[in-house]
Amino acid sequence: MNTATPERAVLADIAARRAQVAAALRQVLPERAVLSEPEDTRPYECDGLAAYRQLPMIVVLPDSEAQIVAVLQVCRELNVPIVPRGAGTGLSGGAMPIADGVVLSTARLNRIVRMDAYSRSAVVQPGVRNLAISEAAAQHGLYYAPDPSSQIACSIGGNVAENSGGVHCLKYGLTVHNVLRVRMVTLEGDVVELGGEALDAPGLDLLSVFIGSEGMLGIVTEVTVKLVPKPATARVIMASFDEVVAGCHAVAALIAAGIIPAGLEMMDRTSSRMVEPFVQAGYDTEAAAILLCEADGTIEEVEEEIARMTAVLNTAGASAIAVSQTEAERLKFWSGRKNAFPAAGRISPDYYCMDGTIPRKRLGQVLEGIAQMEVKYGLRCANVFHAGDGNLHPLILFNANIPDEFERAEAFGAEILALCVEVGGTITGEHGVGIEKINSMCVQFAPAELEAFFSVKRAFDPAGLLNPDKAIPTLNRCAEFGKMRVSGGMLPFSHLPRF
């Protein structure tokens, strides 16, 4: 008996299972909405976290809520796990398929149902692209505020699953602050509406739990988003600093002065030098760090805020300050920041993007720690980040073809996240946990806290079929990972000694 035999047996089992489940799904969906051949399912084998791939058993593309209810019923009856998928741009592997599971894509629910300028809201289906909402709202002078870098491609359903942010979330908030209502289907097939148009609602705030739940609680079928007025104008300051830590202090000084910039981003020299040849954004590549600080609002508000920010930045020791004079120049300043990830791909065969968030006052300490890790792991790291909300995006540059570099990059990333938790931060700011950061969740949370998450997960999905093994690690997994939180540990969370 050789090792090929069990493999063949497993493959035969999967083929039989695929035939059974596909047949059941074709009873409730049109033929073209069920993909079961590998050549058709191949495009779904990964999301934006392309390092992790898995061919799904089946992909379904329903185009109505009734079809989604029917798909869930089939999966429930046949005990098939379901991986919900938006546009597949997620960066943490939340939509990575399961070998014996169904990928449920909401791409075909792509209709803008209603646009209400008076109440400043839009009702959209989950497959509508983020930017398409703002494009449709533009005729009313409105837009949808959260703007992830992938906003051309990513869909609102995926934004809800991951609680996506963007460069303007310091002032305008994350997805959870910009969604009024979600209509969703539970695994049991119940259609439930969470939230509403009022500022507060009675009952438990299940809308907030649902947003960012990474497909574990239900399938989104409709989203009511808040729209905000397009500011009359916006200008951005580019400030240079001779030392990274001075830039970090400037961020703290701006916030301490009571200013909430529309955007407050920082890039270190590695990043600006990586980006500048690629996009000619006009960055000061001699500076140790540059800060981009945006003001938006009425012309008077922007004038005043630019003046106040300039004064604070000068006091904080900026070595040079440039203010965008035209809309074209403003967009040029932003283009470098927004193209940091593609630029990393241009200068390095591979890169690994982290997403830790820390208290702002710890920025200097954590950047210092990352600099030491660059030496320890022998890898370069470019730091671009949402400085205003303490959300770091270290880009670890490596070459997967060099033996050991992928492993070193992974270890480097895990150590960055552990440092983020150690200083009172978290392992993800806006990209979600998915499969990528699931082990780091064992570092972040105590067993009692993970159990609280699971108890809510079970409340919505007792069978555990919705995106299993993502986002929340089991206690067994944490034990295997060797990072079970213990009582009296150094981390700023607590639980009772009985664990």
Q: How many residues interact with a copy of itself (rule CB under 8 A)?
A: 83
Minimum separation from the CB atom of position 484 to a copy of itself (A): 16
Nearer to a copy of itself, 323 or 472 (CB): 472
**Between 135 and 300, CB nearer to a copy of itself:** 300
- Taking each helix axis from N to C terminus, what angle separates 299-315 and 244-256, rounded to the nearest 10 degrees? 130
For residues 175 and 211, the answer to whether their CB atoms sit within 8 Å is yes
Contact segment (CB under 8 A) with a copy of itself among 162-170, 234-242, 320-328, 335-343 equals 162-170
Residue 213 vs 271, nearer CB to a copy of itself: 213
Residue type, 87: A
Q: Is 463 in the site for a copy of itself (CB under 8 A)?
A: no
Beta partners for 82?
102, 466
Minimum gap (Å) between residue 464 Cβ and a copy of itself: 14
Can you list the pairs that 254-260 forms with residues at least 24 positions away whose Cβ atoms lie under 8 Å?
Answer: 254/293, 254/309, 254/312, 254/313, 254/388, 255/360, 255/388, 257/308, 257/312, 259/305, 259/308, 259/309, 259/312, 260/170, 260/171, 260/388
Closest CA to 261 of 302, 215, 227, 207: 302
Q: Toward a copy of itself, which CB reaches closer, 286 or 304?
A: 304
Map residue 292 onto helix, strand or coil: strand
Residues 117-136 close enough to bind a copy of itself by CB under 8 A: 118-120
**Phi, psi at 40, each rounded to 5°:** -85, -30
Which of residues 125 and 391 has its CB atom nearest to a copy of itself in the complex? Answer: 391
Interacting residue with a copy of itself among 163, 240, 270, 272 (CB under 8 A): 163
- Residue 497, both tokens: 């000694």
CA–CA gap between residue 112 and residue 255 (Å, rounded) = 37
Give 3-state DSSP helix, strand, coil % of the chain, rounded to 5. Answer: 40, 20, 40
Token pair, residue 77, equals 């009856």
Residue 25 is given by DSSP the state H
Nearer to a copy of itself, 87 or 264 (CB): 264
Where does this chain touch a copy of itself (CB under 8 A) — which range of 12-20, 78-86, 164-172, 316-324? 164-172
Inter-axis angle of helices 363-377 and 244-256, nearest 10: 160
Subset of 174-203 contacting a copy of itself (CB under 8 A)? 174, 176, 183, 186, 189-193, 196-203
**Chain residues 5-64 in contact with a copy of itself, contact rule CB under 8 A:** none
401-440 residues in contact with a copy of itself (CB under 8 A) are 424-430, 432-433, 437
CB of 163 to a copy of itself, least distance (A): 6
* Token pair for 367: 């950047």
Q: How far is the CB of 197 from a copy of itself (least distance, A)?
A: 5
| Total H helices, total E strands in the chain | 17, 18
Binding mask 81-120 for a copy of itself (x = CB under 8 A): -------------------------------------xxx
Residue in this structure with the two tokens 């209810």, named with its chain if needed? 69
**Least spacing, CB of residue 420 vs a copy of itself, in Å:** 9
The phi, psi pair for 94, rounded to 5°, reads -60, -25
Taking the least distance from each CB to a copy of itself, the nearer of 258 and 482 is 258
Both structure tokens of 350:
């591979």
Identify which range of 163-171, 286-294, 376-384, 394-402 contacts a copy of itself by CB under 8 A: 163-171
Question: Of these, 209, 321, 347, 411, which contacts a copy of itself (CB under 8 A)?
Answer: 209
Shortest distance (Å) from residue 372 CB to a copy of itself: 23
Site for a copy of itself in 326-345 (CB under 8 A): none
